[in-house]
Each structure stands twice: as C-alpha cells, then as structure tokens.
Structure 1
Amino acid sequence: MTLLLLFLGILLIAHLLGAIQATNVIAARIADENPPEGVFVPVPGGRLHLIDLGAGHGSEKLPVLLLHGATSNARDMVYGIGADLARQRRVIAIDRPGHGWSSRPNGRRDATTTAQAKLVMAALDQHGIDRFIVVGNSLAGSLATLLALDYKHRVAGLVVLAGATHPWPGGINWYYRLAAMPVLGRLFVQTVMTPVGSWGIKKSVEESFRPGEAPADYVRKASAALVLRPNEFRWNGQDVAALKACLAVQSPRYGEIAVPTAIVADPADHVVSTAIHAQALHRQVAGSRLTLVPGAGHQIHYTAKPEVLAEITRIAEEADKSQTTREAAQ
C-alpha cells in the first residue's frame, strides 16, 4: 500500500509538472503572437500599457479614455470603437492593471476599483492627460463611474456601455471564483486553465457576443488570448471576485455624478443585467440618457457600434462646450 501511494504521488507530480510545462509553452506563444502596440507609462511600483490614437486633433477637443471589461484588454476597445473615434479626437485606451501588458504592482490589492482608479490616474498624469471623457465597458463600468465620482475635476463626461455598476443577487462563475483563491487559484491557472482555455476560447468569444456574431478575426485583432496567461487570468478572477463589494460601496453615491452621462445597453443583456445596472444608474444620475438597443447582446461596442459612437460623440461635444466655457471663465 505504501509503495502504491508513493507511485500514485509520483504520477500525480509528473502530471502536474507536465501541465505546468504545457502552460508555460502556450503562454509564451500567446505573448509572442500578441505583442504590445502602445507605450508603457510608469506608475507607483510598476507600469501601465496604453494605446494613444488620434493625438493630432488639437487641444480644443477633450480626449476620450477607453476602459475595457473583464477577460479583455485595451485592444478590444480599440478594435471595437477606438479606431473610429480617433478619426475625430484623441483616444487613450489603457490596459487595466494586470491585463494586457500592464503590470499589477500590488497584486490582489489592485483588484478594487479604488486601487485601479489611482493607477489609471497616475498613468494619465505621467502621459500629460488632464481632463477627459471616460468610457467604461462591462466590468469597467464600475471603474468609469468611480472616476466620475472621485476625480470630478478631471472627468468631463461619462459613457457606460453594458456596464456593471451595482451589486447583484448571486455570485460569480466558478472559474473566476477558483482563479481568485490564493493557493488553489494559483494551482488552477498554472496547470489546466491555459490549455483548456486555449482550446475553448473561440466558443467563449461566441458566447459573449450572443445573440449576435463575433467578427471572424476578433480573437486575433483584440488579442483575446492574452487573458489565458496564468497571472492575467488569476488577476482577472480577483477583479471579478472583488467587484460586488466595491459596487456596494460606490453605487449609493451615483447621485453625485454631475457630468454629461450616457448609458447604452441591450435590455436582454445575458451577462450584465440591464435592469439591475443600466436602468438603476440612469435613475440615479440626473440628466443621464439611457439608450436601449434590443438584440445587441453584451458586446455592444461591436454589435451596436453606430449607436455607441453617436452617444460618445454627443457626450464629447457637450463636454467640449463645457470645457470652452470653463476656460473662458478662468
């Protein structure tokens, strides 16, 4: 019996070592195939990666900051709407801490919206961005609304796209919960998650676009596979696991938001409930405009691009006028 247990233990270790090796090989290939295409900006303890587009439009137009959701990175926002917006004004798309090519200076502590807001603002300071319009998609609806609350002197307009903004009943998907665990989570992401995720990424993308269809080249152009790297998936799980508590703290304050605000969502969004999030935010933010696009699904910055671009443009133009008035009064 002792020899049998020893043999089984050795066999298990061999399988784990093999899985770790496979994970490392796949993660290295993913990194090579999806290199950074922006610039790195120093922040306390690390650096954030951002993509800066359309910088030649002049200072009379406020820049737009694009913030991506969970299981994603800045290239998702650039491919979806950033390149279109950059034809009219400057656009900054940031990899949130621990995503894409941005570092995670404080590990798990950077999962909160407050911590991420501080790092994003530090990066914008270093990059010379003063006032801006912020656009938050999905999970980053939480970050965009917090920026509008805590950095009122910097945020000139707010757009929330299928955004998570309020606590919800229930929990989170098991793989996020497992990935966020201190010990089991590390074992999970270092062994089985990357190989299995690599095999199933196309199906996962298709599910996120339901009931519409993802662009045929989405995985490549949005660098979607970057999230399959072990550390990024673990940090992504930590973000999702921390989100509900963050929203419980910040959501009662949304009545303080006083900048032009637009909210765009599908009333039947199967990922982020429009009734719990978008409609509640609309009720709290005076003067906000809620645009509902039936059938758009969750990836609304792709499936309802004309409506999304129109709302961002409207908010940006309102913010530009307000900025002109503000400067004239100084």
Structure 2
Amino acid sequence: MRVVLILALLAAGFWALTLWRAARHEARAQASHPPLGQFVTVEGLRIHAEVMGSGPDLVMIHGSNGNTRDLSFVLAPILADHFRVILLDRPGLGFSDPAPAGAADIAGQARLLMLAAEQLGAKRPIVLGHSYGGSVALAWAVHHPDRLAALVPVAAPSNPWNTPLDLLYRVTSTRLGAAVAVPLITAYVPDSYVTRALEDVFAPQPAPAGYADHFGPGLSLRRASLRANAAHRASLLGEIEALHPRYGEIAVPTEIVHGTEDDTVNFDLHSTTLSGQISGAVLTPLPGVGHMPQHVAAQVVADAVLRAATRAGLR
C-alpha cells in the first residue's frame, strides 16, 4: 500500500510539473509571437484577423497547424499592393477560439470565416486557401456560392485519398490522447522540433531564411492548437468525401496552383482532378515545387490571384 501511495504521489508530481511546463511554454510562445491583428466576434467566438492593403477584398486561409503568420511572411505583402487582404486564423488555431462541436468541420469553419470577413466589410471576396485552408475555401465556394467572387486553392486537398492518417493525429485526436499526449507534447517538445519539421514541409525546397522566427513554432505546440488541429485532420477525409461530388456547382472563376513535387498533398490526385471538376478552372502546375508555393513561388501565386480578380471583373 505504501508503494502504491508513493507511486501515486510521484505520478501526481510529474503531472503537475508537466502542466506547469506546458503553461510556461504556451506563455513564452504567445509573448514572443502575439496577435498582430484585430478580433471580431462571430456567434460568440473571437476570430483573429489581420488586414492590410486596399482594393478588392481578398480573404486568405492558412493550412494545418498554422496561423496568419504563414501567409503574411511573403505572399500577403505582395498582394496588399493590389487588394485589401484579410488574413484569418482558422477556428482553434492561431489566436481564434475553437469552434463548438458540430461547427469545426470544413463547412463550419468556412461559415465562421465568411461571417468574420463580412464583419470586416468583405461581402464577396476572392478566397484563397492553402493546404487544409484550401479545403475550407472549397467548402466556402460550395456552400456559399453567392458570398465569394473567385476561388484560389493552393496545394489544397480536394479529393478522397487512401493513405492512413498519421500516427500522431490518430493518437492526439482521441479523448485519451488529447488529455494525456497533448500536454506531454506541449511540455517537453522544443520549438526546434517544429523548426526541423518545417524542412520536410518545404521539401524539396529549403525553408526560407527567417521563416521560423516569423511563424512562431511555439504557437503550433500549444495544447488548444494541437487538439484543434488533430480533430480537424482526423475528420478531413470524411468531409472531403461528402464535399467533392459538389465541385461541379462551383461557378466562380477558379485558379488552382500546386507544386508537382508536393509530398504532402498529391498534385495529380488533388489539383489535376479538381481542375476537371470545376468548369473553367485553370490549373497552374509548378514543376519541381513542393507543398509551400506561397513562399517558394509567391509571385506565381500572386499572379493567379490577379488573374482570378480580372476574370471576376474586379480589376
């Protein structure tokens, strides 16, 4: 009995230390990379938004476990010369509140971000989404066809796939994993792990100098962000299976941009196929480019947005 009590006390002490380290890590991350924009309240949720530039409205939606800083590093400043750019943190990520159960899927996120953009005066913006954000943009176009002027999916998952969910997400998307594994990750995984992982995301190109410092790897390791991202990733395939039969309903000008060497989101399965599912869609393949064209081919992506604006009669 005494041994059991000692073990219980040791376990409690370790867990108290873990929660303290997790909270300290989160506080450091938020202090070094605070929110740069403003907050709008949508159905009781605070959505973080950065607004820059002037011109036709352009909403930009980041990918998995990201935040507005990903798109503000290179691409948004380029486009701010031509557009009023609205960068939005997806629900549960960056500095936006998590969406409630039933509203955290890509359709629910699209609706919340659409309402946030409307509060900022963007009634019918061009919508650009990178990676998972591209799936949200596609849901926006399908479910709210009269609330956007044009669509720009960048390296976007769009069609069902048969590869298994990563082990990390299989664990952290469960109740036990969210309660136990996530605090352990936040407490004991250093920011340098995320910085090294960025090299794989950018491959075959290197991550740009200064990107990690701008992006804030610690923001992605916060408990709320890890839980939201895991839940999003775990349910995405089923959501895409339900959404993809409706791409033929999309009638706005659509410019698709994707690197042919993307090991994260397959070019042919997702973008070549998508270009045949949306009438009039134009696909710009980027030979040799990986999953992050908004950085390594930013001007090409910007040119696609400009073409979309012209086709929509906004330029």
Q: What's the TM-score bracket when you normalise by the shorter of the two chains? A: over 0.9
Alignment-mate amino acid for residue 102 of structure 1: S
Task: Output the amino acid matched with 2:117.
Answer: L
Question: How far, CA to CA, are the matches of 1:45 and 1:155 in structure 2?
Answer: 24
Partner of residue 34, structure 2: 35
What secondary structure does 1:91 align onto?
strand
Say which SS state the counterpart of residue 26 (structure 1) adopts: helix
1:95-174 equivalences under 5 Å are: 95-106=89-100, 108-174=101-167
Relative to structure 1, is the Cα distance of residues 199 and 8 closer, same or farther in structure 2, using a 3 angstrom cutoff? Answer: farther
In the alignment, residue 44 of structure 2 is paired with which amino acid?
Answer: G
- Residue 194 of structure 2 corresponds to 201
Distance of 1:36 and 1:21 partners within structure 2: 23
Shift of 1:197: 4.7
2:72 paired residue number: 78
Call closer, same or farther: CA 1:199–1:5 in 2, change over 3 Å. farther
* 1:266 equivalent in structure 2: 259
* In structure 2, distance between residues paired with 1:10 and 1:3: 11
Q: Hey, what's the Cα distance between the residues in 1 that align with 2:285 and 2:36?
A: 33
CA separation in 2, counterparts of 1:216 and 1:205? 12
CA contact (8 A) 1:45 1:105 kept: no
CA contact under 8 A between 2:42 and 2:116: conserved in structure 1?
yes
Counterpart in the other structure of 1:176: 169
State the Cα distance separating 1:223 from its structure 2 match: 2.9
User: How far, CA to CA, are the matches of 1:194 and 1:86 in structure 2?
Assistant: 38
The residue aligned with 1:88 is: 82
Counterpart contact for 2:195–2:217, Cα < 8 Å: no
Q: Which residue pairs with 2:279 in the alignment?
A: 286
Residues 144-201 of structure 1, C-alpha deviation per residue, up to 9 Å, x if partnerless? 1111111111211111111111121022211122221123212211223443152411
Q: Distance in 2 between matches of 1:239 and 1:12?
A: 31
TM-score of the aligned structures, taking structure 1 as reference length: 0.91
Give the deviation of 1:141 after TM superposition.
Answer: 1.3
Q: Give the letter for the 2:95 counterpart.
A: W
1:280-316, CA deviations, whole angstroms, 9 ceiling, x for partnerless residues?
1111011111111122110111111121111111111
Q: Per-residue displacement from partner, 1:247-275 (whole Å, max 9, x unpaired)?
A: 01110110111111111111221001112
Q: TM-score normalized by structure 2?
A: 0.95
1:317 equivalent in alignment to 2:299: no
Distance 2:278 2:190 in 1: 39
Distance in structure 2 (CA, Å) of the matches to 1:110 and 1:216 = 37
Tell me which of 144, 161, 183 is aligned to 1:190.
183
Question: Could you tell me which amino acid in structure 2 is paired with residue 262 of structure 1?
Answer: E
Q: Secondary structure at the match of 2:29?
A: helix
Between the aligned partners of 2:65 and 2:22, the Cα distance in structure 1 is 18
Aligned equivalent of 1:7: 6
Say if 1:244 and 1:35 are closer, same or farther in 2 by CA, change over 3 A. Answer: same
Determine helix, strand or coil for the equivalent of 1:215: coil
The answer (yes or no) to whether the contact 2:90–2:109 under 8 Å persists in 1 is: yes
Q: Distance in 2 between matches of 1:25 and 1:286?
A: 50
Q: Give the counterpart letter for 2:52 in structure 1.
A: L
Q: For residues 57 and 187 of structure 2, what CA distance do their matches in structure 1 show?
A: 36
Name the aligned partner's letter for residue 42 of structure 2: V
Matches within 5 A, 1:59-74: 62-74=56-68
2:150 aligns to what SS in structure 1? strand
Conserved in 1, the CA contact under 8 Å of 2:86 and 2:117?
no
Identity of aligned residues (%): 32
* 1:24 partner amino acid: A
Q: Is the contact between residue 98 and residue 235 of structure 1 (CA under 8 Å) also seen in structure 2? A: yes
Q: Which runs of 5+ in 2 are unaligned?
A: none
Q: Deviations over 1:6-46 (max 9, x none)?
A: 33332222222212111111111001111111110010021
Q: Are 2:20 and 1:21 equivalent residues in the alignment?
A: yes
Tell me: CA distance 1:266–1:120, structure 2 relative to 1, closer, same or farther (3 Å). same
Give the aligned residue type for 2:35.
Answer: P
Q: 1:40 to 1:154 in 2, by over 3 A?
A: same
Q: Per the alignment, in what secondary structure is the counterpart of residue 97 of structure 1?
A: coil
Structure 1 pair 197/186, CA: closer, same or farther in 2 (3 Å)? farther
What amino acid sits opposite 1:113 in the alignment? I
Say whether 1:306 aligns with 2:299: yes
Deviations 1:178-229 (A, max 9, x none): 2211232122112234431524111111111111111221122123421111
